[in-house]
Structure 1
Amino acid sequence: MKILALSDIHGDKSLVREMAQKAAENQVDLVLLAGDFVAPDGSMDGLVGPFKEKGIEVGVLPGNHEGLAEVGFLVDRYGVKNLHGYVFKKGDVGIFGCGYGNIGIHQLSEEDVFKTLQKGHDALKDIKTKIMLTHTHPENSVLGLGLFPGSEGIRKAIDMFQPDFHLCGHMHETEGIEEKIGKTRVINVGRKGKIIEL
């Protein structure tokens, strides 16, 4: 299974077309959008269609620039998978997630972040490979550059559950950076995306 994960596209339709082409050329099975996908004016036109036109499944969760209404629109219009508080299983791979951020108008408490991730993780306990998808990075992570606090709830989930992967975005400045927290590979997938082969 191949996954293309990306975040923080902020309505960039040309980038979406480029990423859809990249996904098709690399025979990607699933695209994950880790939040902040809407344009500054709230537009969502052309953000999922290019992937769906190529027959690629899409999973999405909200960042700190959109809410569940925008995710719901994409679910209704394109049949994408909402991963905020839900799980997605394909073969022996399971994905669980929690959207929003710890800044902006769309926020969850750290306790709610952890509980949302715990619920998803527990629903996948018999799945071999687990991927945790969030918008925000964990606290005490190199992804915060020592300047921007990450999420305590996300860090607690990584420490307790040790998913195989934690994919996130939010910090444009650390796009593409990876680190290991225990056995978990933590990756800021950013707007240029990261292909993961399982």
Structure 2
Amino acid sequence: MKILAFSDLHLARARAADLVAASADADLVIGAGDFCNMRQGLDQAMDMLSGISAPFVVVPGNAESVDELTQAVPNGVHVLHGSGVEIGGLQLFGLGYGVPVTPFGSWSCDLTEAAATVMLLHCEAADILITHSPPQGVADVTSQGVSVGSEAVYSAIDRIQPKLALCGHIHDSWGVREKIGVTDVANLGPTVNWFEVS
């Protein structure tokens, strides 16, 4: 299956146009959160992405709540947050929000490590794990050289060993690809990222 994946669109119109154009060649499109900015402009972001006709799976970032995202997406788009879906024979599981809790204040949609751990335990197996936050120590380094990823996400990847783990959130690590065991981990960013999973 040919998969187009991205994260952290943040209302970037030119990036959205690139993603929509590329999606014509995709069997599946995955958006790993932060479609808007500080809980503002989510409907506008979904309008920008409305040309995507392939199956589309999203998780909320810390810039939008799961309820806001569920309300904003077009019919047929799958919103995952502590839940999974099967598409084309692949098992996908998603968890959104910032993990651990960010320093950004009341607008940010965040989870504690403990809460994220509980939600990720609902996933017993997956081909693709989609989280907004990266795993601790992998594709999670800020421009100051600080590792700010999630222990809960790392533990879930280590336990489940999906074929692919997709994330975003830490802008300074966009484009970074590493491995945890057999799992390919990718911090996506708002560009066109292609993956093949069978």
TM-score category, normalised to shorter length: 0.7 to 0.9
2:85 to 88, 98, 104: 88
Residue 69 of structure 1 deviates from its aligned partner by 2.5
**Percent identity for Structure 1 against Structure 2:** 35
Q: Separation in 2 of the partners of 1:8 and 1:32?
A: 12
**8 A Cα contact 1:52 1:78, kept in partner:** no
Residue 55 (structure 2) pairs with residue 57 (structure 1): yes
The residue number in structure 2 matching 1:188 is 187
- Equivalent residue letter for 1:164: K
Q: Separation in 2 of the partners of 1:137 and 1:40?
A: 19
Structure 1 portions without partners, runs of 5+: none
Residue 189 of structure 1 deviates from its aligned partner by 1.1
- Equivalent residue letter for 2:11: G
Structure 2 portions without partners, runs of 5+: none
**8 A Cα contact 1:51 1:57, kept in partner:** no
The residue number in structure 2 matching 1:177 is 176
Q: Structure 2 matches for 1:118-157, cutoff 5 A?
A: 118-119=121-122, 121-122=123-124, 125=125, 130-144=127-141, 146-157=145-156
Q: Structure 2 matches for 1:1-80, cutoff 5 A?
A: 1-24=1-24, 27-40=25-38, 42-49=40-47, 51-75=49-73, 77-80=74-77
**8 A Cα contact 2:139 2:187, kept in partner:** no
Residue 49 of structure 1 deviates from its aligned partner by 4.2
Residue 40 of structure 1 deviates from its aligned partner by 4.9
Name the SS of the counterpart of 1:16 in structure 2.
helix
Residue 167 of structure 1 deviates from its aligned partner by 0.3
Aligned residues: 189
Residue 9 of structure 1 deviates from its aligned partner by 0.6
- Equivalent residue letter for 1:8: D
Residue 23 of structure 1 deviates from its aligned partner by 1.6
1:40-67 Cα offsets, whole Å, 9 max, x none, are 5711244334554342221111111111
Q: Separation in 1 of the partners of 2:109 and 2:151?
A: 17
**8 A Cα contact 1:7 1:193, kept in partner:** no
**8 A Cα contact 1:49 1:78, kept in partner:** no
Q: Separation in 1 of the partners of 2:112 and 2:90?
A: 28
**8 A Cα contact 2:140 2:170, kept in partner:** yes
Are the structure 2 counterparts of residues 156 and 41 from structure 1 closer, same or farther at C-alpha, using a change threshold of 3 Å?
A: closer
Q: Separation in 1 of the partners of 2:128 and 2:152?
A: 16
1:80-105 Cα offsets, whole Å, 9 max, x none, are 10111221212331110110012143
Residue 144 of structure 1 deviates from its aligned partner by 2.0
**8 A Cα contact 2:33 2:59, kept in partner:** yes
